[in-house]
């Protein structure tokens, strides 16, 4: 008994109990936050990747059931240029051309390792009468579970790197600074995959730290297995970052530059191994894209000339355009959106990105030289990567991406902010141990206040409404399109990815040009159109129904969307529009159907 008491109070038992208590606290905190604030995917960007994950898990490859007219036109044009025939198969998946595969691959792997009875429950249709009465789509809970588990890994890696750089106390402060970050929890709850990049970046810095330890040891053999293996693994991790978010691969430039800067010509072999690891990781995906579209990153390169707020030609307009034309590159537009993005990141963004109070400590710490040479090397490598991402990424992104550098670099800011905080407290010899602990506690408390505020709010509905309503979207498959798909009819929507995810059926994206709506019938007859608040909510609805819209060059002389939108108010569609039947589900949520579909469905019920 005495040995047990000694083991619990002074031995490893005390450490085990303390660690178990922290783990238990993190799990309980995670469950509570997820219960109160779970929201599901927030926009089409995320849905596009989750749909690919489902197809991949089912053995259909990197394909999607979201049918963008631009994708069809590009695939057809590429086939014809090779002298091959393009066969569009209605209600089948088409190759994904816009998103990198990283997040989808991870989700597909998680789906593959789950038992079949769990998989069946994941894809079970949600049923509800009102948006606020619904239990979230089980697949959304699956996405949340994966993101939470990865976030736990991020917290562990934050502790490991913080401890390696600044000791146990530094690791602990970094851990609690991360777990209590409201902005980081927002990324988890939005299930957008940002936590994957957090994890990969932390792994890169952990390996880089170990590489620096080896390079600065007495053994100056640059050809040792440990050093070359570290270089190879860093290259692989940078490649995985690139495959998760193309612009995130820019972190590799910082690693290469700082390795050359610190170790000069001796780093040549390490650089070669890093490049080999990176190239081997991304090569299969690059080859696949070149074969489909003659572009190494497929149609994702169009993020460069396009801008989300451009009312003339945004990424959404580009994807819904049934032509094989590419956007023109305007240097003025690229510079404008890049500078706007940098301004946003360096003003409000950097403080709301997740590091919060630790961001100020991180910036202040950049004017201080740590006594440890390796810690300094790792810090400046991280700073270089952060600057490259913050200054270059806005020029490459159209504004549609939800994975922003200011969010996935937050754990790194927290770690080095924690390190500088320790320097400040430890350098004051007049402070007692209790005073130092109190200061650290107050900093963590301030970091946690936004999270406490979020957790104290009433429970939110478990999906993003508007525009997404899982139970209503399911009805488009189970009732409206029942039997119609057998006859070759398809469905279209202004939020095709969300409708595809919740209804589990192929969905065409609604083209901005009505004439192209007519052209799509050459590929597949459209039997229903799902219109959501994303298209119909003010202030856009007044613009859509404006008489001036008829002057738009993209409007067909045989019909236009403006007349269709106006007719929603009296539910009498214009003569040129084939979807005559109008059903209003909620405010600014409509389903327009072809009378033939309703007639067939009524016959089937009889």
The 3-state secondary structure of 244-307, one letter per residue: HCHHHHHHHHHHHHHHHHHHHHHHHHHHHHHHHHHHHHHHHHHHHHHHHHCCCCHHHHHHCCCC
Tell me if 285 sits within 8 A of 404, measured CB to CB.
no
Tell me if 46 sits within 8 A of 190, measured CB to CB.
yes
pLDDT of the residue at 104 = 97
Q: Round to whole Å and give the CA distance between 130 and 472.
A: 9
Q: Round to whole Å and give the CA distance between 294 and 203.
A: 33
CA angle (323 as vertex; 320, 327 as ends), nearest 5: 80
Tell me if 122 sits within 8 A of 168, measured CB to CB.
no
Q: How many residues does the chain have?
A: 606
Tell me if 211 sits within 8 A of 231, measured CB to CB.
yes
3-state SS, 132-199, equals: HHCCCCHHHHHHHHHHHHHHHHHHHHHHHHHHHHHHHHHHHHHHHHHHCCHHHHHHHHCCCCHHHHHH
Rounded to the nearest angstrom, the gap between the alpha carbon of residue 361 and the centroid of all alpha carbons in its chain is: 28
3-state class (DSSP) for residue 66: strand
CA angle (66 as vertex; 62, 70 as ends), nearest 5: 95
Neighbour tally for 42: CB within 10 Å = 18
pLDDT of the residue at 137 = 85
Nearest Cα to Cα of residue 98 among 123, 69, 139: 69
Which phi and psi (to 5°) does residue 367 adopt? -95, 5
3-state class (DSSP) for residue 580: coil
Going by C-beta distance under 8 Å and a sequence separation of 6 or more, which residues neighbour residue 453?
A: 182
Q: Are strands 490-493 and 507-509 parallel, antiparallel or unpaired?
A: parallel
Q: Are strands 581-586 and 589-593 parallel, antiparallel or unpaired?
A: antiparallel
Nearest Cα to Cα of residue 594 among 514, 473, 485: 485
> Strand (E) positions, 482-543?
490-493, 507-509, 526-531
pLDDT of the residue at 461 = 84
H/E stretch holding 517? helix 514-520
Q: Are strands 490-493 and 526-531 parallel, antiparallel or unpaired?
A: parallel
State the number of CA atoms in the 13 A half-sphere of 322 facing the CB. 19
Nearest Cα to Cα of residue 411 among 207, 179, 206, 149: 179
Tell me if 165 sits within 8 A of 206, measured CB to CB.
no
Q: Round to whole Å and give the CA distance between 246 and 241.
A: 7
Going by C-beta distance under 8 Å and a sequence separation of 6 or more, which residues neighbour residue 447?
A: 176, 177, 180, 181, 356, 357, 358
Tokens of 414: 């927290």
Tokens of 408: 């996935």
Nearest Cα to Cα of residue 321 among 329, 330, 312: 312
Tell me if 467 sits within 8 A of 530, measured CB to CB.
no
Sign (positive or negative) of CA dihedral 534, 538, 540, 543: positive
H/E stretch holding 12? helix 12-37
Tokens of 91: 């209600």
What parts of the chain have a pLDDT lower than 70?
Answer: 1-11, 127-135, 218-222, 348-349, 483, 485-486, 538-558, 598-606
pTM above 0.85, yes or no: yes
Burial class (CB in 10 A: 0-12, 13-18, 19+), 262: middle
CA angle (340 as vertex; 339, 346 as ends), nearest 5: 85
How far is CA 48 from each of CA 43, 51, 101, 473, 540, rounded to the nearest angstrom? 9, 5, 11, 16, 24
């Amino acid at each position: 008994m005495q040995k047990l008491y000694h083991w619990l109070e002074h031995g490893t038992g005390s450490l085990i109990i303390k660690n178990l208590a922290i783990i238990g606290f993190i799990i309980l905190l995670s469950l509570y936050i997820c219960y109160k604030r779970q929201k599901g995917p927030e926009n089409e960007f995320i849905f596009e990747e989750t749909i690919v994950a489902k197809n991949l898990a089912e053995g259909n490859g990197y394909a999607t059931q979201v049918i963008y007219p631009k994708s069809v036109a590009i695939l057809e044009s590429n086939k014809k240029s090779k002298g091959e025939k393009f066969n569009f198969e209605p209600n089948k998946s088409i190759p994904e051309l816009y998103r990198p595969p990283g997040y989808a691959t991870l989700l597909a792997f998680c789906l593959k390792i789950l038992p079949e009875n769990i998989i069946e429950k994941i894809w079970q249709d949600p049923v509800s009468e009102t948006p606020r009465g619904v239990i979230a789509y089980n697949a959304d809970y699956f996405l949340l579970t994966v993101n939470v588990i990865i976030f736990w890994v991020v917290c562990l890696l934050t502790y490991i790197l913080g401890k390696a750089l600044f000791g146990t106390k530094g690791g602990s402060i970094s851990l609690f600074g991360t777990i209590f970050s409201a902005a980081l929890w927002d990324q988890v709850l939005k299930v957008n995959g940002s936590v994957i990049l957090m994890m990969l970046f932390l792994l890169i810095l952990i390996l880089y730290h170990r590489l620096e330890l080896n390079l600065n040891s007495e053994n100056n053999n640059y050809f040792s297995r440990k050093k070359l293996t570290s270089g190879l693994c860093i290259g692989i991790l940078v490649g995985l970052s690139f495959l998760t978010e193309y612009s995130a691969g820019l972190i590799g430039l910082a690693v290469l530059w700082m390795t050359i800067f610190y170790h000069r010509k001796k780093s040549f072999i390490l650089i070669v191994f890093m490049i080999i690891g990176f190239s081997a990781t991304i090569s299969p995906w690059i080859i696949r894209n070149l074969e489909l579209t003659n572009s190494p990153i497929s149609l994702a390169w169009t993020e460069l000339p396009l801008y989300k707020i451009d009312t003339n030609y945004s990424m959404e307009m580009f994807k819904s355009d049934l032509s094989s034309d590419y956007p023109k590159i305007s240097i003025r537009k690229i510079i404008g959106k890049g500078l706007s993005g940098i301004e946003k990141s360096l003003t409000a963004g950097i403080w709301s990105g997740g590091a919060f109070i630790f961001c100020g400590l991180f910036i202040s710490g950049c004017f201080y030289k740590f006594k440890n040479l390796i810690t300094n090397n790792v810090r400046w490598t991280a700073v270089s990567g952060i600057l490259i991402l913050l200054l270059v990424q806005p020029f490459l992104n159209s504004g549609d991406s939800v994975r922003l550098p200011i969010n996935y670099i937050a754990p790194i800011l927290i770690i080095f902010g924690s390190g500088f905080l320790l320097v400040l407290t430890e350098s004051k010899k007049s402070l007692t141990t209790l005073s130092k602990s109190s200061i650290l506690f107050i900093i963590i408390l301030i970091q946690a206040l936004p999270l406490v505020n979020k957790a104290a709010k009433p429970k939110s509905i478990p999906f993003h409404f508007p525009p997404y309503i899982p139970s209503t979207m399911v009805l488009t498959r189970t009732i409206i399109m029942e039997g119609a798909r057998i006859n070759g009819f398809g469905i279209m929507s202004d939020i095709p990815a969300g409708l595809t995810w919740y209804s589990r059926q192929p969905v065409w994206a609604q083209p901005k040009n009505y004439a192209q709506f007519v052209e799509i019938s050459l590929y597949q007859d459209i039997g229903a159109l799902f219109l959501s608040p994303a298209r119909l909510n003010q202030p856009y609805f007044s613009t859509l129904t404006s008489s001036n819209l008829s002057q738009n060059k993209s409007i067909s002389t045989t019909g236009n969307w403006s007349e269709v939108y106006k007719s929603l108010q009296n539910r009498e569609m214009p003569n040129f529009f084939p979807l005559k039947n109008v059903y209003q589900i909620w405010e600014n949520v409509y389903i327009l159907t072809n009378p033939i579909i309703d007639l067939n469905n009524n016959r089937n019920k009889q």
